[in-house]
Amino acid sequence: MLVNLKRKVYKSVLPSRILIEPGLLFGYDKKKILSLKNKFEGERCFIVGNGPSLNKLDLGKLKDEYSFGFNGIFYKTKDDGFIPTFYMVEDTAFLNDNIQEVNAYKANYKFFPSLYKRKVKRDNCTYFFNMNRSFYEESSEFFEFPQFSPNVAQRAFCGQSVTMISLQFAYFMGFKEVYLIGMDFSYTIPKEDSIKGNKITSAGDDINHFHKDYFGKGKVWHDPKLHNVLKYYKLAKTVYENDGRSIFNATAGGKLEVFPRLDYDTLFK
């Protein structure tokens, strides 16, 4: 009788829990990620956004710095030779449209949600993490409510932008100062683009990122919902400052004013 009851509870809870944390079904690299805890304690890093303003900066100055890059940063690698220390992809639409480039990309550390394990090729540099999707699920009590994980080896919380997960990883790995660049915090949806729900299909060149092919013709992207991004940036700022750490905005222009601004070129001697 008790066994049957447990089975009923298991069956009723598991599907919704897996929807929120697919890592419970696909498995994730908990021990491998745990080895990164405080590995870079006291260091600084740069989180490289993909806005058009990125083209105004000399990324060659990041050669000896720790940096995070995302999604289509491989266009910068092809054009300028820039390779981030950490590479991360969260967005399903981007992964599906660029799977060959993602699998071919080389970086010292590559982070992916574990639900992509069947698509992403694993090598020694690959880490699959447990991504909590409650921010995106309307059935969740945390729908569009930001959360910050101090232990990404257990789970990392979505927050409308892949940069949110990187801020959790940077915190977990011990970085004391984080500098954001390429965070323009501004999007325009061309009239020619096709909109279905929160999915947008480009009809021409991408005007919102540093490269015209980033979300170029035929590629799918999501409504950025900048009001939700702002929620998370405010939370991340509080978490970092409460622990004696700092996040700065070194973007060339843009509309993000949550963090103290610094001039990118002044950060290098």
pLDDT digits (tens, 9 = 90+) for 172-230: 999 999 999 999 999 887 888 888 877 889 988 988 888 888 888 988 887 778 899 99
The string of pLDDT tens digits covering residues 10-55 is 344 455 677 899 888 889 999 999 999 999 999 999 999 999 999 9
- Of 208, 187, 177, the C-alpha closest to 71 is 208
* pTM as predicted: 0.90
Going 112 to 118 to 120 to 124, the CA torsion angle's sign is positive
Report the C-alpha gap between 17 and 23 in whole angstroms. Answer: 10
Q: What per-residue confidence (pLDDT) applies to 15? A: 59
The string of pLDDT tens digits covering residues 146-160 is 999 999 999 999 988
The string of pLDDT tens digits covering residues 203-212 is 889 888 888 8
Q: 10 Å Cβ neighbour count for 97?
A: 18
Question: How many percent of the chain have pLDDT more than 70?
Answer: 94
In the chain, the amino acid numbered 54 is L
Q: What per-residue confidence (pLDDT) applies to 10? A: 37
Q: What per-residue confidence (pLDDT) applies to 14? A: 53
The string of pLDDT tens digits covering residues 76-120 is 999 999 999 999 999 888 999 899 999 999 999 999 999 999 999
Q: Which residue has the tokens 């990122």?
A: 209
Determine which of 32-36, 68-72, 137-141 has the lowest per-residue pLDDT on average. 137-141
For the chain, the helix, strand and coil percentages under 3-state DSSP, each to the nearest 5:
35, 15, 50
Q: Is 68 exposed, middle or buried (0-12, 13-18, 19+ CB in 10 A)?
A: buried
**Cβ-based neighbours of 260, under 8 Å, separated by 6 or more:** 246, 248, 249
The string of pLDDT tens digits covering residues 159-171 is 889 999 999 999 9
Q: What per-residue confidence (pLDDT) applies to 12? A: 42
Q: Is 187 exposed, middle or buried (0-12, 13-18, 19+ CB in 10 A)?
A: middle
- Of 91, 97, 193, 111, the C-alpha closest to 152 is 111
Q: What per-residue confidence (pLDDT) applies to 11? A: 43
Helix axes 226-242, 162-172, angle to 10 degrees: 10
Q: What per-residue confidence (pLDDT) applies to 90? A: 94
Banded model confidence at residue 6, pLDDT cuts 50, 70, 90: very low
